[in-house]
Structure 1
Amino acid sequence: MSAQQWIPLESNPEVLTGFGHALGVSPDLVFSDVWSLELLDMVPAPCHAVLLLFPLTPKLRNAEVADSTSLTDSPDAPYFVRQTIGNACGTIALIHAALNAGRLAPAPSPDSFLSRFGEATKDMTPDDRAKALMEDASLDAVHGQFAAQGQTAAPSPTEKVDLHFVAFVHKAGKLWLLDGRRDKPFECGPCEEGNVLRSSAKIVMDRFMKADPTEQRFTILALTAKP
């Protein structure tokens, strides 16, 4: 992690939707709350990617170490960028969701940040993409604008935050967990293209919630069609 620090994004669907649209996510897509893993039919369809905000507790950190063998740099792996900016996990997760939303989702707007950055970095390594992200002043400015929004007072950039965003996406018949703190994408197992939400929900329950059953601080958001 570099000395560069951002203000954390709030897990607020309106803030994330506005931020995504400012970066180039299609206006036909929004982030929607997933209120219950038992009521997934209430989430607008189709779902193209999922964001998870979870606490970095010791039990969950230990579970991550145990899962490290599923990290891969397979040619089938989705677009992935490392997180080297402090508190940038929400932005990294949004970029992962938007640039890996798949062929069923509307593409990012032409000439937007997402279109330009995705094209310029498509052949780079995850570390080189991280460097390009750090050097992009336009992203820094837009992030700051939306990080200041939300229902709670924004923490300072230097404040230690124990919550972390990751993204789940589909590619090549598999579900992938994209966590910018890791070196590579994490292969979760088989997944049909239109089943990202249900496949992600199973991983959240089996790999996250069961790892620390007493923890309640889990927030799930889906990148979906606009209702």
Structure 2
Amino acid sequence: MAGKSGDGFHHDFYTAERWNNWINQVKDSDFKLEESDETEGKAGAIFVNMEDDIILACLKIIAKYEKEQIPQESALEYLGQIRDIALAEIDPISEDADLMIDSLQTSLMGGFAACEAYVAGDYDEKDDIGDLVKVALEAESSDDIEIAIGTIAEIGALVISGKELSEKVMEEVPYGLVAEWLDGIDSIHAAMQGSDSYKDDEEDDGK
């Protein structure tokens, strides 16, 4: 899925092979939701690592865009390539694993929307994240999913630009689509708070 884009260069920010390697690890883990906390925590870490791997690849694209090493159009194209890989339908593995992958993909929807909104400049730095979360929740309760995910995208773009997604705001969000999408934004925030080596890393071959 990776390859030449509008910038005329070859980039492998993320590959289908890389994603499939993660899926194979999930299959090998024989993940069960009802196992002991210790066992579930170890197997469940696969899903956290899968998400982190995707988010870091997206942040590498954004870092290159910010350095003007790739143009806006190419950055959006690369993000779209990763989104298509990660959100593609996956053959059933097991009931428990399928539930986790579905949750992971929903969370990643928020992350991808955020990254695309940031690169496209579809956000207003004056907006308050807490207020936007309320807008997203109201839209979700009205079944206006388009407005809900659009608002989540703006929240995520603000987080990428440096604003904080507070734990207090996260704790007050009831379980639902908005909560799962915000998990993706929280993953972006956590990745940005960790090592910033992704800003200088060259993309690898996905193996």
Structure with a larger share of its residues in strand = 1
**TM-score normalised by the chain length of structure 2:** 0.28
Structure with a larger share of its residues in helix = 2
User: Larger radius of gyration, structure 1 or 2?
Assistant: 2
Q: Relative CO higher for 1 or 2, CA cutoff 8 Å, sep ≥ 6? A: 1
**TM-score normalised by the chain length of structure 1:** 0.26
